[in-house]
Amino acid sequence: MSTLNQIIVLLFCLVFLNLSYAQNGKDKTINPIVVIDPGHGGKDAGATTRNGIKEKDIALGIASKIVVLNNTLFKDPLMLFLTRYTDTLISLGDRTQLAKKLKADIFISIHCNQAINRTASGTEVFIHPKSEVQAEESAYLGFTIQKGLADLLGIKDRGIKYGNFQVLRDNDYSNATILLELGFLSQTDEAIYLTKEESQNAVALVVFKSIIEFLEL
Ligand SMILES: [Zn+2]
């Protein structure tokens, strides 16, 4: 997608969000609590692109941009927390403990994928539900985000899968709990896309917009 197209998408999203948020105007005393977990950190770099860009930095970059969107552009519709704000390694247990302590409504762990097959591309959402409600809510949140990324940014949707990841397995507190793989760093086009600042802004906006849509704010 060209930079011009990305700017058009961003403008479209901004107008859409402003309108839908203003029209609804629900007066909630407590905003929904959302925990975003940028995967890896510190000595755990996660996957890397061929030119050495690390998954931990892409995940933190996108998560930080979601915080900026929430705080500055949209006046805090979400009570949003990250499990890490810097390049540090947080234990998997502490990541889910934060969601538990905050009684988070939504928990999203952000990652990028890697595969031996260098042509593999697209987003994947993993869930590990503990209840029928968590299964339905998690799948619907994942579906909403993947649909947004596919429709607005043209990122292939590889579907929702069952994944036995500790951050999902240990989280029975949040209604919607997903691990989001945003694309493959082993695939050249997606690696280039995900490392660009403007692409990260576009992805952050689509994820943020999808959370707002999911919560019917
Ligand atoms: Zn990862």
How do the domains of the chain map onto residue ranges?
33-214
Q: Which tokens go with 19?
A: 């309108």
pLDDT at 141 over 70: yes
Residue at token pair 């949003």: 80
Which helix or strand (DSSP H or E) is residue 17 part of? helix 3-24
Tens of pLDDT, residue by residue over 47-97, are: 999 999 999 999 999 999 999 999 998 889 999 999 999 999 999 999 999
pLDDT at 2 over 80: no
Q: What is the pTM of this model?
A: 0.88
Contacts (Cβ under 8 Å, ≥6 apart) of 13: 152, 205, 206, 209
**Secondary structure letter of residue 42 according to DSSP:** T
Contacts (Cβ under 8 Å, ≥6 apart) of 118: 186, 187, 188
Q: Considering the chain, what is the average pLDDT of its residues?
A: 90
Tens of pLDDT, residue by residue over 97-108, are: 999 999 999 999
- pLDDT of 11 reads 56
Spatial distance between the Cα atoms of 69 and 54, rounded to a whole number of angstroms: 23
42 Rama class: left (phi>0) / alpha (psi -120 to 50) / beta: left
**Secondary structure letter of residue 41 according to DSSP:** B
The Å distance, Cα 72 to ligand 1 centre, comes to: 28
Contacts (Cβ under 8 Å, ≥6 apart) of 196: none
The Å distance, Cα 10 to ligand 1 centre, comes to: 26
CATH top class, domain 33-214: alpha beta
The Å distance, Cα 11 to ligand 1 centre, comes to: 30
The Å distance, Cα 196 to ligand 1 centre, comes to: 18
The CB-side HSE value for 28 (13 A sphere, CA atoms) comes to: 15
Instruction: Give the active site residues.
Output: 181
